[in-house]
Amino acid sequence: MKLFVYHTPELTPNGQVPDCAIAVDVLRATSTMATVLAAGGEAVQVFSDLDQLMEVSEQWPAQKRLRAGERGGAKVAGFELGNSPLDCTPELVEGRRLFISTTNGTRALQRVQDSPAVLAAAFINRAAVVQYLLEKQPETVWIVGSGWEGSFSLEDTACAGAIAHSLVEKSQLSQDDLAGNDEVISAIALYSQWQDNLLGLFHQASHGKRLLRLECHEDLKYCASTDILDILPIQREPGVL
Binding site for ligand 3SL (CB under 6 A): 25, 27-29, 70, 73, 83, 102-105, 146, 211
- Residue among 27, 6, 34 at smallest CA distance from 18: 6
Q: How far is the CB of 219 from ligand 3SL (least distance, A)?
A: 8
Q: Is the dihedral of CA 216, 183, 187, 35 positive or negative?
A: positive
Strand-pairing partners, residue 65, are: 97
> What Cα–Cα distance (Å) separates residue 54 from each residue in 46, 50, 60, 96?
12, 6, 10, 16
Which residues make Cβ contacts (< 8 Å) with residue 38, sequence separation at least 6? Answer: 125, 229, 230, 231
- Residue among 70, 57, 59 at smallest CA distance from 30: 70
Closer by beta carbon to ligand 3SL, 74 or else 189: 74
The helices-and-strands tally (H runs, E runs) of the chain is 11, 8
Closer by beta carbon to ligand 3SL, 92 or else 185: 92
Closer by beta carbon to ligand 3SL, 29 or else 241: 29
Q: How far is the CB of 36 from ligand 3SL (least distance, A)?
A: 13
Closer by beta carbon to ligand 3SL, 2 or else 210: 210
The gap from C-alpha 123 to its chain's centroid, in whole angstroms, comes to: 9
Q: How far is the CB of 211 from ligand 3SL (least distance, A)?
A: 6
Closer by beta carbon to ligand 3SL, 209 or else 236: 209
Q: How far is the CB of 137 from ligand 3SL (least distance, A)?
A: 30
Cβ-contact 73, 106 below 8 angstroms: no
Closer by beta carbon to ligand 3SL, 106 or else 168: 106
Q: How far is the CB of 73 from ligand 3SL (least distance, A)?
A: 3
Q: How far is the CB of 30 from ligand 3SL (least distance, A)?
A: 8
